[in-house]
Amino acid sequence: MTLKSNSPVLAFYQQCLPFSLLTEAQQQFAESHSHIAYFAKADNTVAVNYSQPQLYLVRSGAFELRSDQGQLIDRLGEGDYFGFPSLLTGDKVSNQVRIIEDGLVYVLSETGFNQLCSESREFQRFFNRQQATRLRHQQRFSSRDHSSTIKLKTVMSTPVQRIASSATVQQAAQQMAQAGISALLIEEADNCGIITDRDLRNRVLAQGLSLDTPVAQVMTSKPVCADAGVMVFEAQLLMAQADIHHLPVREQDKLVGIVTSSDLLRLERTELPNLASLLAQAEDVAALVQLSLQFMPLLQQMIAADARAEEVGRVLTLLADAVTQRLTQLAIKQLGEPPMAWCWLCFGSQARMDMAGQSDQDNGLLLERDPNEAEASYFAEFAQIVCDGLNACGYIYCPGNIMASNPKLRVPVELWQRKFNYWLEQPDPNATLNASVFFDLRPLAGRRELGQQLHQWLIEQPKSPLFLAHLTGHALQNSPPLGFFRQWLLEENGQQQKSLDLKRRGLLLINDIARLHALSCGSEEVNTLKRLQAAMAAGALTRNDALNLADAHEFIGHLRLSNQGKQWQAGEPLSNNLVPDSLSELSRHQLKLAFRVAQRGQDGIGLRYRRQL
């Protein structure tokens, strides 16, 4: 399409980096060497002609940049670019550009691009930085090799060796010997289990059983399993806590592989090879405190490996989970067996599994029934031991007293249900504040079925439009730190510097948006990214909006963790505050885009849920 004299391209160039850095004459030159292209979703991909390279600037629509193996490299929306790597290097680029939504694209010719690069160092630097960022993204998606973030499905042994439960132990031993393996899985309509070489030693030979003994008699029924998509580090913690050496792997409710402790040990390339087992075996609080000192070096390693914020947050949460679970075991060791069933609940970031380098504790205790005076005294001491231990390990006491040591949060099922009902039916400011914290709930230790039943009950309770409207009002009390003309709205931090609160002004906003949509559509998910996916599946969010919010959450989270890593290295207190001048121009630009996404998400929940006020 040929441009007309009053085309909107110039106006867009004047507000879009790096064209906004050019002189007016250079912007007009860019306009004169540009044309408009339209790409329809039905075409699936953009037919980029890399033999005649051009710069493509997205004016509207949504696109995905993928490698030639189909791996996601970047998601592109308004103001984003593609095609420039071939302009910078002169090489043919094999990346695919997929069309997610119909869009208009402004296309700058190779002649125009090269001329502007020669005239403006800032223009050329911008695209060089963009290229470096793309390469980091591609590596992040395709070749992450930090042992903590490798997915279990990439290291499991598959296909698995199976045997019938009616087979004899001699047949099982022969099959293991022939295949050179140490375990067999049993997966039948009415029977699921695992038999290992250790079972043959301890349950057959040591007990003097016959070689004709059926496998069903000595196998472990309903074994601990892991999902194929979990991280290796999570599997390590799970195996250490359960004291097992073989972990069956499930995918879509089918056993698809198996991982052994030896498999995981061979993967270790960090300075923390035994951290999972050491946490599970710590003899006292002092030992846990010493182990917790290694968490920040692990954070540094993961940041250096360019791990995603989602993965780093999950690992940090798993560490907090392991510390909490061991503290509950140490409390029982000190106090004796509990007088009734109980479940330790975590709330907030630990429930969402997005903890950072500095997190306070948010927890409660769910009791099976109303305790008598002696039982209440036991659980009061139990909760105090765990909360004190968490504080000693760096998970500081909650300033709002949202802790199991608070007797109001150490109550039976009926009282928890009464609390939630009050918050649902009386949505005053305090109730909506509580809902924003306590509706992010995850059972962590003890009889988890109690917590799962409470969470399921909560999901099934009707969420009135008035409740959602009040919760929206609370979610809109804070806004992204953007003023007129997208300038920063800075706040004083602890060092009297002007800074951005990445948590309060960014991450929490997206958490609030995701929680609202999840509660509205009845999703059981607690993790923010999974809530966004559930909202997209339910039609509460478009695919483009959900992906943009997920990307914004990832980008802000990554900056927050990187900044905390720098603070730790400098011996400074960890905080969520970032001085924007410490960022490159490109990172500041990307951060503003991320905040704009959060702002549009807030506009969306305001229109959708506030009509009842």
Q: Write out pLDDT tens, residues 144-192.
A: 445 556 677 777 877 788 899 899 999 999 998 888 788 999 888 777 8
Whether residue 361 contacts residue 391, with contact meaning beta carbons closer than 8 Å, is answered with: yes
Higher local confidence (pLDDT), 285 or 245: 285
pLDDT tier at 588, thresholds 50, 70, 90: confident
Cβ neighbours of 191 (radius 10 Å): 15
pTM (two decimals) = 0.67
Q: How far does the chain reach from its first CA to its final CA, in angstroms? A: 48
- Max mean pLDDT among 40-54, 77-91, 352-366, 574-588 falls in 352-366
In a 13 Å sphere around the CA of 197, the CA atoms on its Cβ side amount to 10
Q: Could you report the per-residue pLDDT of 361-399, keeping only the tens digit for each?
A: 999 999 999 999 999 999 999 999 999 999 999 999 999
pLDDT tier at 5, thresholds 50, 70, 90: very low
**pLDDT value at 134 more than 60:** no
Cβ neighbours of 91 (radius 10 Å): 10
Separation CA 153–CA 156 (nearest Å): 5
Which residue, among 560, 559, 552, has the nearest Cα to 598 in the 3D structure? 552
pLDDT tier at 93, thresholds 50, 70, 90: low
In a 13 Å sphere around the CA of 464, the CA atoms on its Cβ side amount to 13
**pLDDT value at 448 more than 80:** yes
**pLDDT value at 141 more than 50:** no
Q: How do the residues of the chain divide into helix, strand and coil, expressed in percent and rounded to 5?
A: 55, 15, 30
pLDDT, mean of residues 324-333: 96
Exposed/middle/buried for 104, CB within 10 Å: 0-12, 13-18, 19+? middle
Q: For the chain, how many residues are written?
A: 613
Higher local confidence (pLDDT), 90 or 31: 31
Cβ neighbours of 203 (radius 10 Å): 18
**pLDDT value at 586 more than 80:** no
pLDDT for 145 equals: 44
pLDDT for 188 equals: 81
